Structure 1
């Protein structure tokens, strides 16, 4: 069974949703038969990347400007997300966050898929952005982080220089638009169910179980002698 997850590496609910999905998958009886693929989605394709943090309240100011709210209300949103992240074992530090265009990060995640390291790279980039304050829009930083997750640094640098996976990123985004994805994380389970948002682990588990059952209907074995049974009209004699 395949689960495709559209998300962005600068999306706080995507990181929280990743943890909740992992919790659901850990409880899923058939987890070893599940293939997970991370798909690209840019929250802001026009974003400009910075190379260093601009100050403690910069993220709150950017959030306030984006949603047309006051700084205090924006900070309250960040505090709420930080608490939600902590409940999932994540340590968010929005005061360290560095503005980033994430197209290159998604290219690296696509490259990682070919090496069986997609989840490791995705996790490294999320932690780098939300916890460590790394500039995930900077190619030199991306090369280093990808290497820490197991990729070859020279290959990553060459792939970025050639924009080798940019078409793949754009294809993911086009497919998201075709599916009607308006926000992330967005989970597509076995091309049967779409789940929007960082849903609780219990709900994600229920979707996994339902999709599994529907994709593998029960096959009845022809009855043989000695297979007597009881039914509404009585028992075989």
Structure 2
């Protein structure tokens, strides 16, 4: 079974969705046969490498709310995240362009450490206040997640994986994805948002049952009286 997850590393709901999916997957009977791939989605493709001002100020401006309301939204999100094992510190977050972060995630996929890179980037932005658009910061973060620092630096100095990021984003458009996280199972089932683990598990079970139908034999011949069933025989 293949699960593709579209998300952005500066999206708090995406981090929460990751935890909830992990919980669902841990309960899924066929988890060892699930391949998970992280797909690219930029919430703000036009963002500068590093945005001026703090995150609450940007949120207030974007949604036309007061600074106090923006702080309240962050407090509520922080409490929600804590219930799923995350420690968010929006007061330290430093917004910026995430295109290079997504290229790093593609490198992680090629090197077999994609999930670790994704996890590390979430924590870097949402917990530690790292500069998510800064190439040298990304090199260090990638190395901490298992990538070779020199290779990561070379990738970010080139346009490698740029086409892959854009291909992910074109596919998101084709699917009609306009918000993240978004889970796609076997290119058949789509789940929007950080749904509860129970909901995600139900979708996994449904998708598995559809792709692995039980084989039922069609009865043929005469009556089935000449048979033993349930540990006994009719004689």
Does the pair score TM above 0.5? Answer: yes
Partner residue of 1:206?
202
Counterparts of 1:89 and 1:81, CA distance in 2:
12
Partner residue of 1:126?
122
Q: CA distance change for structure 1 residues 191 and 236 in 2, over 3 Å: closer, same or farther?
A: farther
Partner residue of 1:219?
215
Q: CA deviation at 1:49?
A: 2.0
Query: Deviations along 1:20-48, whole A, 9 cap, x unmatched?
Result: 00010011111000000000000000111
Counterparts of 1:223 and 1:131, CA distance in 2:
61
- Out of 168, 175, 179, the residue aligned to residue 179 of structure 1 is 175
Partner residue of 1:81?
77
Q: CA deviation at 1:236?
A: 8.7
* Aligned-residue CA RMSD (Å): 2.2
Counterparts of 2:27 and 2:69, CA distance in 1:
37
Partner residue of 2:131?
135
Partner residue of 2:40?
40
Other structure's SS at 1:3 match = strand
Query: Deviations along 1:69-127, whole A, 9 cap, x unmatched?
Result: 11111111111110000001110000000111000000000011011100000000000
Gap runs ≥5 in structure 1? none
Other structure's SS at 2:47 match = coil
Q: CA deviation at 1:14?
A: 0.2
- Out of 72, 91, 114, the residue aligned to residue 87 of structure 2 is 91
Gap runs ≥5 in structure 2? none
Asked if residue 6 in structure 1 is aligned to residue 16 in structure 2, the reply is: no
Q: CA deviation at 1:227?
A: 5.6
Other structure's SS at 2:183 match = strand
Q: CA distance change for structure 1 residues 236 and 137 in 2, over 3 Å: closer, same or farther?
A: farther
Q: TM-score, normalised by structure 2?
A: 0.92
Counterparts of 1:123 and 1:92, CA distance in 2:
13
The ranges of structure 1 where at least 4 consecutive aligned residues each deviate by more than 4 angstroms after the TM superposition are 221-230
Counterparts of 2:188 and 2:218, CA distance in 1:
30
Counterparts of 2:171 and 2:193, CA distance in 1:
17
Q: CA deviation at 1:222?
A: 7.6
Partner residue of 1:100?
96
Partner residue of 2:16?
16
Other structure's SS at 1:132 match = coil
